[in-house]
Structure 1
Amino acid sequence: MSIHGLNRLHTLLIYDESLFNPSLNNSILSELFSKLACLRALVIRQYYLLGSHPEANWIREIPENVGKLIHLKYLNLSELVIERLPETLCELYNLQKLDIRLCRNLRELPEGIGKLMNMRSLLNGETRSLKYMPIGISKLTSLRTLEKFVVGGGVDGGSTCRLESLKNLQLLRECRVQGLSNVSHVDEAERLQLYNKKNLLRLGLQFGRVVDGEGEEGRRKNIEKDKQLLEALQPPLNVETLWIVYYGGNILPKWLTSLTNLRELKLLSCVNCEHLPPLGKLPLEKLELYNLKSVKRVGNEFLGIEESSEDGPSSSSSSPSVIAFPKLKSLKVGAMEELEEWNYRITRKENISIMPRLSSLEVRSCNKLKALPDYLLQTTALQELTIWECPILENRYREGKGEDWHKISHIPHIQMSPDGIREKIRIALLVHQAGSALLDEFKAVDTS
């Protein structure tokens, strides 16, 4: 397409949807950059298909003359198959937002990225090949959003970011920290003073994956190290969203129950935690518990209230009612391999309310769980119930077959895994691992 006469263009959005024979290449980009020096916003998208021909004409690098676009404020390169960004990108001193999400081959950011002093948003989530951050990140004091910050991880530790590199980024509103297992000493976390970042509303803390075969002594050391580290990483009290991933400690810190503005909490693959924290008094709206495989029982301790006794004194009708999880709307529980019992021993129900606003409950891959709390199933707010890959629960609650179908039949939207899907999925995975084509029988399964 001719760009003659468009030299004063401010916004250019390019969507190359040629899945197998892309029409956009590096030489075209270089020509565009040389002639459209007035651009303020530039979007370059190619819909790369995994498994496409390796010699196809995909954009694999950004031309060096991108540095001529000095007026650029917004640059979107998301989903490109680029492996690096040119150093000349750091000459775009007006750049405020860089979107490189889902650039799965991207291995590094420019060393001079600290020159981009006006950068407010670095959207670099889902960049799985990005294993370290250049130390210049600490100079981006205007940053509000940093989707992925990797601690250490580089070949030369001196040229990569340490955890305390975040200390100067006082305007951060969203940050997801990965590689916390690379933190050498808890002092580094303490110097960060995360609790002083008053603008921080959304925070992700990702530790290292559990390594099989490291021995009992190594396991104990990792448990203690992660406990101390997470204790030192106390977020500001006004944080609204918190993710804790691959945490190796066996207990969660007490500061968790002091986050009085927390709306969303995800505890993912915290495999050594044996008990859920008492979260019932927090204003949570969304809660996800996934792969907490050491938890065997969920009871009143989760609610943050004491168990009552039938032999105890009866409560007065004038006593104030207790509400556990007063604002919770969505609860997801998944891959809890050892969870057998989920029950609240409540006898004075007239004074205790549990999750009164819960509208969506999802339970997946809890093979040993025997029953859901009757108290939750009877709540009139529950609109959606999903039970997936939970054989005991499915036998108990399935329509027309289960003994307790009547306890959930009033819920408008119920979803359960079809009969026999476990075996079909197992076979399909085996076939996939062997490099075979799609399994015809698996294609026929209604997974909707």
Structure 2
Amino acid sequence: MDGNNHGEASVETSTGRVRHLSMMLSMETSFSSSIHIAKGLRSLLIGNSGYRWDGAALPDVMKQLTCIRSLNVSGSSIKEIPKEVGKLIHLRHLNLKGCRELVSLPETMCDLCNLQSLDVIQCWSLKELPRAIVKLINLRHLFIYASGVTFMPRGIERLTCLRTLDWFIVCGGGENESKAANLRELKNLNHIGGSLEIRNLRGGIEDAAEGQLKNKKRLLCLDLYFKRNHEDDILIEGLQPPSDLERLCIDNYGGIVLPNWMMTLTRLQELQLVACGNVEVLPPFGRLPNLESLKLKGVGVRRLDAGFLGIEEVENANNINEGEIARVTAFPKLKILVISNLQQVEEWDGIERRVGEELRFGTLIFILPQLQKLRIQYCPLLRALPDYVLAASLQELELIDFGNLEVLPPLGRLPNLEFLRLQTLGVRRLDAGFVGIEEVQNDIINEGEIARVTAFPKLKRLVIWDLEEVEEWDGTERRVGEELRFGASIIIMPQLRELTIFKCPLLRALPDYVLAAPLQLLDITALVQSRDLRVRIINDQEISKRLKLAVKL
């Protein structure tokens, strides 16, 4: 139903039978008395299409629609909920999501004895919940994520029917401390499940332990945001979650040591550590059997080694029969690995040596066998990647912003790689070593046979960004010629569809195999030295014809 300036929003004469009403307001609209006749309304949704309704008519509406069960005014420009809301004693669901100008909720909300769900997500101007909210003992779902709420009202422990509590904000002191709940009040909220984010973590281990997070068996995702102080390593020990937790994020943690309980989370699928600059040693995350995504951002570790993989103490038990080989897999299910802003990491090594030792003593070690996406960003001291990172299953690889990486590994050997981004690295050349054909061996080829070697066999998107030292993308054709003479046919990037090159001022040309690829998009920007290349692409009708989408020069 639409409203406009030339009339009032109204309901048909059958309003007495209307039970569910959705109104879409497109401009300034008033409510006629006909909507008030619809006293049997059970649900009302007031939406908008670009026009943000200010809710001026809400007090009058609330006086009339006393039977309403669900009220949705999400995305409107209302600044306050009128005190008349207390008359809606049958109201079960109140949706205020995205009401960014909403400043306050009235204390009369305590009269909503049947309210089960309250949503104030993204109500940025709302600084606190009404103290009376703790009287809503039937409340089951409280959504306050990304709102302006700065503390939880004291007495929230009484809401024992809560099933959803997406945010819990610990008061940071000041004038609100006397009316704010602490972590202890989580103790009785054992039915909350799904996701919980605790912000502004502070206080002692006693408060944290009494919150008894580990008893909240339905909790699947937990985000812990600290105030960052030297006692965080004590506090975090009291925040042990249930053992069935599937996702954990620790942010702005000021402690030196991560909690012992982390390695008990055997069902954990996602783990993220952010801004943990004092942490110098990581637990053996490689032993977490169900971990699928690991993101390390701004952690203070100096090495990623066998301890991190969880193979530091691999023991070759005496019960291994002679001739048998024990199999150990680090990160058996990990698919996504992000390493970002690890400014102290100098070494990601030592693994190959350890693997060799274990092999001699009867243990076969597999590392990251299912890795699909790898992103390494801003690790300025890191010089090289270990061989096991270049897993056969890798589909997406991003190497961004570490200038000490001067030589690229043979990425062309990755059989499943579909997307590759190289950005702000210290490399000077893209050559046969990068393509992965530097060490092609032909001694197993029978006389008269031709071996086929494909580099980057599945690569579809290639982004080369801000490689200011790269002068040459060459040498490969020469190597290809050598291999052909000795009986090997080399194919490079046969499925490349999109190529983006930006800010590579010294790069003069592209190799023939790139222009021979089935490109659909070629974006080359800020290539100061590439005038000849531009002319060639523009004048070559065959190349231009294949570029179906665009050529940006």
With normalisation by structure 1, the TM-score equals 0.78
Residue aligned with 2:285, SS: coil
Distance 2:222 2:187 in 1: 14
| Residue of structure 1 aligned with 2:198, choices 168, 173, 177 | 177
1:75-115 CA-to-partner distances (Å, cap 9, x unmatched) read 22112121221222232222222221111221000101112
Partner of 1:130: 149
Counterpart of 2:456 in structure 1 is 409
Q: Which residue of 1 aligns with 2:372?
A: 359
Name 1:115's counterpart in structure 2.
Answer: 135
1:75 is matched with 94
Q: Please state how far the C-alpha of 1:196 moved relative to its aligned partner.
A: 2.8
Contact 1:387 1:415 in 2 (8 A): no
Residue of structure 1 equivalent to 2:210: 191
Q: Which has the larger radius of gyration?
A: 2
Counterpart of 1:279? 285
SS at match of 1:27: coil
Q: Which amino acid aligns with 2:298?
A: N
**Does structure 2 retain, via aligned residues, the 8 Å contact 1:61–1:84?**
yes
Instruction: Report matched runs for 1:7-406 at 5 Å.
Output: 7-18=39-50, 22-46=51-75, 58-81=77-100, 82-127=102-147, 129-153=148-172, 155-173=175-193, 174-181=195-202, 183=203, 185-209=204-228, 222-223=229-230, 225-282=231-288, 283-292=290-299, 294-306=300-312, 318-343=324-349, 344-345=351-352, 346-347=355-356, 351-379=364-392, 381-393=393-405, 396=408, 398=422, 401=430, 405-406=434-435
Asked if the contact 1:335–1:365 (Cα under 8 Å) also holds between the matched residues in 2, the reply is yes
Partner residue, 2:521: none
Separation (CA, whole Å) in 1 of partners of 2:339 and 2:463: 14
Distance in 1 separating the partners of 2:404 and 2:457: 21
Deviations 1:375-429, CA, capped at 9 Å, x for gaps: 12132x22222233344459737497267533693564666572279xx99xxxx
Give the letter aligned to residue 63 of structure 2.
S
Identify the range of structure 1 (137-146 vs 388-397) with the bigger mean alpha-carbon deviation: 388-397
1:177-218 CA distance string (max 9 Å, x none): 11212x1x3222232333233332222221114xxxxxxxxx
Unpaired stretches in structure 2, ≥5 consecutive residues = 1-8, 12-33, 315-320, 410-421, 424-428, 437-454, 469-501, 504-524, 527-553
Report how far residue 175 of structure 1 moved: 1.9
Matched pairs, number: 390
**Residue 178 of structure 1: SS of its match in structure 2?**
strand
Contact 2:369 2:391 in 1 (8 A): no
* Counterpart amino acid of residue 85 in structure 1: L
Task: Deviation per CA, 1:317-376: give whole Å up to 9, x if none.
Answer: 622211111111222222222223223333257811112122222222323322333212
The structure-2 alpha-carbon separation of the partners of 1:71 and 1:242, relative to structure 1 and needing over 3 Å to count, comes to: same
Contact 2:245 2:268 in 1 (8 A): yes
**How far has the Cα of 1:42 moved from its partner?**
2.5
Q: Taking structure 1 as reference, are residues 420 and 139 closer, same or farther at Cα in structure 2, changes over 3 Å only?
A: farther
Matched-pair contact (CA < 8 Å) for 1:112–1:136:
no
CA change 1:404–1:176 in 2 (3 A) is: farther
Is the 1:387–1:416 contact (alpha carbons within 8 Å) kept by the matching residues of 2?
no
Q: 1:405 to 1:79 in 2, by over 3 A?
A: farther
TM-score by length of 2: 0.64
SS of equivalent to 1:122: strand
Question: Relative to structure 2, which stretch is displaced further, 316-325 or 340-349?
Answer: 340-349
Instruction: Give per-residue Cα distances to partners, 1:53-83, cap 9 Å, x unaligned.
Output: xxxxx32212222222322222221121212
How many Å separate the matches in 1 of 2:402 and 2:281? 21
The 2-side partners of 1:158 and 1:416 are apart by 55
- Counterpart-to-counterpart distance in 2, 1:208 and 1:199: 27
How many percent identity over aligned positions? 39
Aligned-partner SS, 1:188: helix
Matches of 1:284 and 1:115 in 2, distance apart? 41
With over 3 angstroms needed to count, the CA separation of the structure-2 counterparts of 1:411 and 1:147, relative to structure 1, is: farther
State the Cα distance separating 1:167 from its structure 2 match. 0.5
Moved more, 410-419 or 109-118: 410-419
- Give deviations 1:14-54, integer Å, cap 9, x for gaps: 33232xxx45113123333233333323222337xxxxxxx
Q: Is the 8 A contact 2:368 2:388 kept in 1?
A: no
Tell me if structure 1 keeps the 8 A contact 2:383–2:406: no
**Cα RMSD over matched residues?**
3.1
Q: AA paired with 2:116?
A: Q
Give 1:40's aligned amino acid.
R
Deviation at 1:165, TM superposition (A): 0.7
C-alpha distance in structure 2 between counterparts of 1:419 and 1:7, whole Å: 65
Amino acid at match of 1:123: F
Structure 1 Cα separation of the partners of residues 342 and 390 of structure 2: 20
Residue 110 to residue 394, structure 1, CA distance change in 2 (3 Å): farther
Question: How far apart, CA to CA, are the structure 1 residues paired with 2:322 and 2:43?
Answer: 68
Distance 1:383 1:356 in 2: 12
Q: Secondary structure at the match of 2:110?
A: helix
Question: Quick one: distance in 1 between partners of 2:225 and 2:302?
Answer: 24
Which has the larger strand fraction? 2
Helix, strand or coil at the partner of 2:71: strand
Distance 1:42 1:409, change over 3 A: farther
Per-residue CA deviation, residues 206-241 of structure 1 (Å, 9 max, x unaligned), is 1114xxxxxxxxxxxx43x11111122222222222
* 38-47 or 170-179, larger mean C-alpha shift: 38-47
Q: Which has the higher contact order (CA 8 A, sep 6+)?
A: 1
What SS class does the counterpart of residue 164 from structure 1 fall into? helix
CA–CA separation in structure 2 for the residues paired with 1:187 and 1:89? 33
Equivalents in 2 of 1:410, 1:69: separation in Å?
65
1:430 aligned residue:
none
